[in-house]
């Protein structure tokens, strides 16, 4: 199986031993309590599940600035985005242990214990520099930039011990999986080549066929559909609705035992190219050998070019930095000429009107009015779930 990033084995920071975890939970009650941001809590979940291998905790200021500028930590480890515990104020001592409380769960239970290695302040210029490098903009109307700048300017670095997986494990019991669990399941299935598909949206016909194309092209034994379960921008479809629609699609339109439907506990960054690289790192750590990156991957608005998330692997990712291979997809749509879904680059004889293409606005309008998009665009079973959701708003 493909090796994790920067290590021979995953380094999950979740404390799996129950007696040890119970003792740490008791210790946490005696520590300084800190309610962290949603982003910091999600980072803890991802560290706990092994997705951020080989990190052992939150980065320092030097690491954050280095990762932002060159996608390497101060020690030279390739990493595409800073992994931080940012706070609006902090006065901890080196070596102090603090209890990180979850902002997304009622009662704010402790999600992790952190041993503080440093507390450093970012200047306004440094905050702007990180935002520009990671998100490609400092525009506060960008949802990722807004969330980043709202967290605070104090970088609290240090190793963590993760005590739970926040709301993800309880609210998405059938879907949430750690990188450790996915690797174990891939091994049990005997899959050697595995293609991964990232989604924060429901999957329509084009997405379905794209997964099948990628499996065929790469000779993969199976596909892991890996959906983001964390916080999204306003207007995005909730995770439980996406989960239901994707499972219905897989059940009806994929060969049995060819697809794993899973999810991970992370908040969407909407960071376009940088987030595409991060997504590839996640998938390598969970055991995938190939990762699909299509048009406007992890994008929002008009901040990124249509294929910037692909070209970054040519321009900014050093050869050998990641072992996972990228499957580069073009815009995918149903061809009226050929009566099947195709990638547009593969049919140069087609005109625009030869495709069934609907804007997101048009699709939402149809679904909200109880009208299913054409079957060439969306499977009827998927459309039914989405229509029920939109009409419930």
Question: Which residues participate in catalysis according to the annotation?
Answer: 200-201
Q: Which two tokens stand for residue 40?
A: 């910091």
How remote is the C-alpha of 43 from its chain's centroid?
11
In sequence order, the β-bridge partners of residue 247 are none
Cα separation of 386 and 391, whole Å? 9
Cβ-count burial of 106 within 10 angstroms (0-12 exposed, 13-18 middle, 19+ buried)?
Answer: exposed
Strands 340-343 vs 118-121: parallel, antiparallel or unpaired: unpaired
What three-state secondary structure class fits 271?
coil
In this structure, the number of other CB atoms found within 10 A of the CB of residue 302 comes to 7
Cα separation of 295 and 56, whole Å? 33
Q: What torsion do the CA atoms of 242, 247, 248, 252 make, to the nearest 10 degrees?
A: 140
| DSSP category for residue 289 | S
Cα separation of 214 and 140, whole Å? 36
Say which residue the tokens 């500028």 belong to.
69
How remote is the C-alpha of 146 from its chain's centroid?
18
Cα separation of 142 and 145, whole Å? 5
| The dihedral sign for the CA sequence 329, 280, 227, 176 | positive
């Amino acid at each position: 199986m493909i090796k994790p990033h920067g290590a021979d084995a995953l380094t999950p920071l979740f404390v799996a031993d129950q007696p040890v975890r119970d003792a740490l939970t008791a210790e946490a009650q005696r520590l300084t309590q800190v309610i962290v941001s949603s982003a910091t809590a999600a980072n803890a979940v991802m560290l706990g599940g092994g997705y951020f291998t080989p990190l052992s905790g939150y980065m320092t200021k030097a690491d954050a600035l280095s990762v932002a500028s060159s996608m390497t930590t101060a020690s030279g480890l390739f990493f595409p985005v800073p992994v931080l515990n940012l706070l609006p104020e902090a006065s901890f001592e080196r070596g102090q242990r603090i209890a990180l409380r979850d902002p997304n769960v009622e009662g704010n239970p402790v999600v992790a214990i952190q041993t503080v290695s440093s507390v450093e302040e970012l200047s306004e210029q440094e905050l702007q520099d990180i935002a520009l490098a990671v998100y490609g903009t400092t525009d506060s109307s960008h949802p990722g930039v807004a969330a980043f700048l709202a967290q605070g300017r104090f970088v609290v670095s240090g190793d963590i011990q993760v005590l739970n997986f926040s709301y993800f494990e309880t609210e998405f019991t059938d879907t949430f999986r750690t990188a450790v669990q996915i690797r174990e399941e891939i091994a049990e299935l005997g899959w050697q080549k595995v293609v991964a598909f990232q989604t924060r949206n429901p999957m329509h016909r084009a997405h379905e066929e794209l997964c099948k194309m990628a499996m065929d092209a790469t000779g993969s034994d199976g596909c892991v559909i890996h959906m983001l379960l964390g916080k999204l921008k306003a207007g995005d479809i909730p995770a439980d609705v996406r989960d239901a629609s994707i499972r219905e699609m897989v059940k009806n339109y994929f060969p049995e035992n060819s697809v794993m439907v899973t999810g991970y506990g992370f908040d969407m960054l909407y960071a376009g190219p940088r987030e595409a690289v991060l997504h590839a790192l996640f998938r390598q750590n969970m055991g995938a050998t190939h990762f699909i990156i299509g048009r406007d991957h992890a994008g929002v608005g008009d901040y990124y070019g249509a294929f910037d998330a692909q070209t970054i692997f040519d321009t900014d990712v050093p050869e050998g930095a990641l072992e996972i291979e990228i499957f580069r997809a073009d815009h995918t749509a149903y061809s009226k000429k050929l009566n099947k879904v195709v990638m547009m680059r593969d049919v140069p004889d087609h005109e625009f009107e030869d495709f069934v293409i609907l804007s997101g606005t048009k699709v939402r309008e149809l679904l909200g009015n109880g009208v299913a998009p054409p079957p060439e665009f969306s499977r009827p079973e998927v459309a039914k779930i989405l229509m029920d959701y939109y009409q419930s708003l």
